[in-house]
Amino acid sequence: MDAQSRGRDEIDPADQWVLNPQTGNYELRLDQSGPQSSAARTTAPRTPAPRSSTRRSPVAPGETPGREVPGRETPGGDVPGREAPGRQVPGQRSRRAGNASGGTTPPTAGRRKRKQPKSRKKKALLWTGGVMAFIVVAGSVGAYLVYQHFDSNLNTVDVAGAGSGGFKKDQAVNILVIGTDKRSGKGNDGYGDKNSVGHADTSILFHVSKDRTNATALSIPRDLITDIPDCETKTADGTKVIGGTRKTRFNESLGQEGRDPGCTMRTVKELTGLTVDHFMMADFNAVKSMTTAVGGVEVCLAKDIHDKDSKLNLPAGKHVLEGEQALAFVRTRHSVGFGGDLSRIEIQQQFLSSLIRKMKSSDTLSSPTKMWDLAEAATKALTVDSGIGKISRLRDLGMELSKVNPKNITFATVPVVDNTDGATVLLNEAKAKPLFAMMQNDTSLTEVKQKEQDAKNKQQTLLKGARTAASEVRVAVFNGSETQGAALATLTWLQNEEGVLKSSNEGNAPQKLARTTLTYAPNQAAQARKLADLMGLPAAALKPGTKDAVGREAMTLTLGADYKGAGVPITGPAKAPEGVQKVEADKQVCAK
């Protein structure tokens, strides 16, 4: 938040430190727009110089005219290798200001320690852990970032239209975080398979609900047998289509046959039904550098761990890990659980949950040095799609994601069953499909307070009241979805399976709809509630009119893009199926 956009009483002193690109120093300005006060001038870092006549230099781009820094006069000439002092302090919290001296040191030196008032707007939650930490850092520290510097750190990939075209503030957000096992980076070639082009070794789909009340982080096992669809990939020679593969490991959706992250995004959509907006990819260095930047992450072990493959040796109890030890922890699998990849997923989720708690702690958010180091480490470790390949876009995305309360962030794993080969797993459709439906319908895997639910959805009362018998429901069905024949299929199901005989197929709707809607008259409310029960319609789908229906007038049901098939509830179940593995971000779990 810029200080100008807040009330004067809420100004955070940290917001008033502005970078003077001519000196490389951060200087304190306590006013909002006028010249500096004498108090501000006396507390700003000073560079002693002999007094002489002041040389006024032209105003540089991004500087504010008429604002001089006292006590910085040039004695007759410029100091070699340095811009002439005496220029103006740039405008407060310039988001694009560069450091003319080329330095990237955070503004800690020369500052007098000041007790900063707590501000709710400063508590941007770095909820996605190591890989996605920078997004919210950009939104949190504002003036401490030099955008051009961090832009140059990012690697980008054009995924040839694999995503949604970009996240939107009024829609749910889906971010695919990919941890590749490529052994690039200093000290990583000793982990084995150093010449590999990399696989989608760790894949987590972060789904944030439309109303930002909850989020689900869904881990996808690397050894899951699935279908990889055809995918377009941009190369130096142009765009080419890489053929899909049926019944193969999920991790082969990246790297193999020249597949880029866009192929993994398409595979996730094929698997879950959720369109991925953007991707973020990192290698082993991300874990090492990010955990070091925050001063380590606390983990809990229910037993001793001695893993010769990951080289992790720790006794039972609590430990604070960073760098190589942190990487060893998230790579270990043979000494925890059943010793397989699913057990490793569980401790990775526990680790990320702990990292979330560390990120949102005052120890991290109140430290400019840690925030700077965090941003530096994350941007150097990240590869992102071109849609968010700028710090400004990452900042905007981060401010959306930071709205989610950590108690409503849940890590879960795609439900699977063992394959007969003993090395791979198969989708457990009975549990996976309801879980995917919950995510598609923004249903939290945690207990969101009922009053919060009611406040977000005042239409809930529309579902309260009497129901008619199915045989009394009169409805005309239109197809506003992308599924050909959806209206006919739904009509057949309603008549043959549910006894809604007074129903008709009206063909295609005048226009496509994103969400299924049911329009009805006040005297048809009991019919509407019954049809909502049968089809699993949410309260938001019910659109009551103002005039009563006359005679045999029917309600209007228009199927939208959320249609999943005849008889499949439009909304997901209220709770996750029994046995779905979950870790809640605000609770510590000890690895077993």
DSSP code string of 388-451: G-SHHHHHHHHHHHTTS-GGGEEEEE--EEE-TTSS-EEE-HHHHHHHHHHHHTT--SS---HH
Domain boundary among 65, 80, 111: 111
Dist. CA 338–CA 346, nearest whole Å: 11
Are 253 and 348 within one domain?
A: yes
Say yes or no: 421 and 490 in one domain. Answer: no
Question: Which tokens sit at 137?
Answer: 């850092």
Cα–Cα distance measured from residue 372 to residue 324, given in angstroms and rounded to the nearest whole number: 21
Residue 536's CATH number: 3.30.70
Taking the CA atoms of residue 132, residue 136, residue 137 and residue 140 in that order, the dihedral angle to the nearest 10 degrees is -170
Domain with residue 374: its CATH number is: 3.40.630.190
CA 349 from centroid of its chain's CA atoms: 15
Give me the pLDDT at residue 29, please. Answer: 52
How far apart CA 296 and CA 60 sit, in angstroms, is: 41
Alpha-carbon separation of residue 205 from 155, 218, 269, 300, 413 (angstroms): 20, 5, 10, 25, 10
Q: What residues contact 66, with CB distance under 8 A and at least 6 apart?
A: 35, 88
Provide the number of structural domains found in the chain: 3
Q: Residue 582: in which H helix or E strand, if any?
A: strand 582-584
Contact residues for 48 (Cβ-Cβ < 8 A; gap 6+): none
Q: What is the pLDDT of residues 512-538, one digit of tens each?
A: 998 899 999 999 999 999 999 899 888
Q: Confirm whether 576 is domain-assigned.
A: no
Residues 194 and 237 in one domain: yes
For residues 380 and 288, give the distance between their C-alpha atoms in angstroms, rounded to a whole number.
12
Q: Domain check: are 420 and 466 in the same one?
A: no
Query: What whole-number distance in Å separates Cα of residue 561 and Cα of residue 193?
Result: 43
Q: Which of 440, 429, 475, 471 is nearest to 570 (CA)?
A: 440
| pLDDT of 8 | 41
Confidence (pLDDT) at 504: 96
The token pair at 342 is: 């699913």
Element counts in the chain: helices (H) and strands (E): 14, 27
349-371 pLDDT tens trace: 888 888 877 877 767 767 778 77
Residues 211 and 240 in one domain: yes
d(CA 305, CA 149): 41
Would residue 205 count as lying in a domain? Answer: yes
The reported pLDDT for the residue numbered 120 is 37
Q: What angle do CA 473, 477, 482 make, to 5 degrees?
A: 145
Domain assignment present for residue 535? The answer is yes
Let me know if residue 355 belongs to a domain.
Answer: yes
Residue 36: which domain range?
Answer: 1-111
Question: Is 261 a domain residue?
Answer: yes
Residues 61 and 147 in one domain: no
Within a domain: 118: no
Q: Are residues 378 and 504 in the same domain?
A: no
| Cα separations in angstroms, 517 against 468, 479, 499, 538 | 19, 11, 21, 9
**Statement to judge: residues 290 and 178 lie in one domain:** yes
pLDDT of residue 194: 55
With beta carbons less than 8 A apart as the criterion, state whether 122 and 345 touch: no
- Residue 404: phi and psi, rounded to 5, are -80, 130
Residue pair 243/230 in contact (Cβ under 8 Å)? The answer is: yes
CB 1 within 8 A of CB 11: no
Token duo for residue 455: 């406040």
Is residue 569 domain-resident? no
**Cβ-proximal residues to 333 (8 Å cutoff; 6+ apart), any chain:** 307, 309, 310, 339, 340, 341, 343, 344
| Same structural domain, 437 and 500 | no
User: In terms of domains, do 234 and 324 share one?
Assistant: yes
H or E element: which one contains 323?
helix 323-331
Which residue numbers in the chain have pLDDT < 50? 1-15, 30-113, 115-145, 183, 188, 190-192, 449-451, 454-455
| 422 & 352 share domain | yes
According to DSSP, the residues that pair with 25 across neighbouring strands are 20
What's the token pair of residue 183?
């052994």
What is the structure's pLDDT at 146? 56
Q: Quick check: is 123 in a domain?
A: no
Burial of 296 (0-12, 13-18, 19+ CB in 10 A): middle
Distance CA 513, CA 569 (A): 17
Q: Which residues have C-beta within 8 Å of that of residue 81, sequence separation ≥ 6?
A: none
Q: Reduced to 3 states, what is the DSSP secondary structure of residue 27?
A: strand
Same domain, 405 and 528: no
